[in-house]
Structure 1
């Protein structure tokens, strides 16, 4: 079992084995597999019966003016991490025909907007985290073994163990569940108890991914949803969700000890907003409280806005977060680059 001390030792052992080339750049890992909600959905919800879709303008205005189903004006957090790893962007699982899924070897995106960690955290049709893991299981069992570069179970095991698994989910468990007065399922729990329950549920689902061969994880949960546009930084809500963010770091340390040969990066979106809020001009923002979209029309100065719509952030904000998470030391610990280069 590895500890964080072991991680720092191994982080200096840089692998000289690289993988696919994207635009002449060698990738640091063979693949990136993405799980989560609308923060990283790349278009899975386009194929579902739900109003939680982002496949119409002005979404994607800065993604070659193409509304792909990403809930922002441009790239998502997962997109930036893929690029930094030297990988192509991960296609949405539901956007790949069943007959061609075996051809995709650099990662797949299973994320779905309006879903949460819990199966009853949802708004309409969406892919629950359990369903996403079910699809990933099919990828591992049915699709990857058919690829010409994964000729046997040892090559498959190597591919899975060196790949990175990004999980960004949790906000909807509050927005669409715990904080909704008409839903009484978890109202008997205080905020600390609900956070404990949520993190335990997330841990059990991560274990299922681990059991399929995953070893390198990037995990992020709820951010400061009380500061979404129109809520005017409702600190009561922020204090209700903060325990989930606080407990994540302790839980990933626990999982790292429990899951032999694993390594985790904890992504703290809650603290990231504090960083921006404390000095917005330093990061180029002139507005961190209002939505860039007003009455369906996007603002012209999108790089100066933190929020894109009612709850999702702009590409400008996402890029800062991804840069910090990939090579920084405060928002994501340790960081994604060290996770990619470590030899387990």
Structure 2
């Protein structure tokens, strides 16, 4: 088969479409013939040499895919050859085939194009596990989504709306109209506006009950300031740095909670639990049309370098997909 390899870390030109050995399924794995994968920020970090795959994962980038099962391991009883699926991966999505632990498979959602389904697994599992499972977002609460125009952001906005929360999102002004079309009550231009002041104004001084953050250190103090009493801050990215001072007094006064998680390196059992939760609680919303994959562009997988350049520019809205021939 062919896959995107990284002979040496570097810029987008470091991605090389090359012939590699076919994967073989383990006892509790299936082989998926990949129709599409999606570009995530973690893939850019891996290409740069900053985010290696966990032990046992394929060396190729790609944290999610969609496709058709072509082989099943000896202990797999709940999946069959020919099923259309999408999958959460620890790596290997930028390839024509990938071995997937059976617990990380999801049926392709009814009513969603199989290629576009590749835009869902990683964002669905990340957002649901943080916003719902950990932060406990409920109907009537306020959710602030940073990076609302990203793949994570566009999914989080839709999930918040589907759960009957009031959704606020930060993004460039050029993306505001599309965020409102997805159901965001208000969009905040982080380059021109103080999001803390805007959140307070829009909530009559109360603040956000849940904040989904991709920035990390650079937003930590302001995120705490923007939280409501009893608020929950879920940190899932470090685009603004790793280290910052935290005013514990401010956190205690608000009786607030901060969680910080990654998904890729979790044990298989934890991932399977998250995938099952997504299948049970999120997939019905997708199949009902309340959440849909937001795809900026489909590109041939061999052109992964150009796809990385597009994602690095942050000019996209939603996901950029890589398709096999």
TM-score normalized with structure 1 length:
0.28
User: Where is the helix percentage greater, Structure 1 or Structure 2?
Assistant: 1
Q: Counting strand residues as a fraction of each chain, which structure ranks higher?
A: 2
| TM-score for both structures, normalised by structure 2 | 0.29
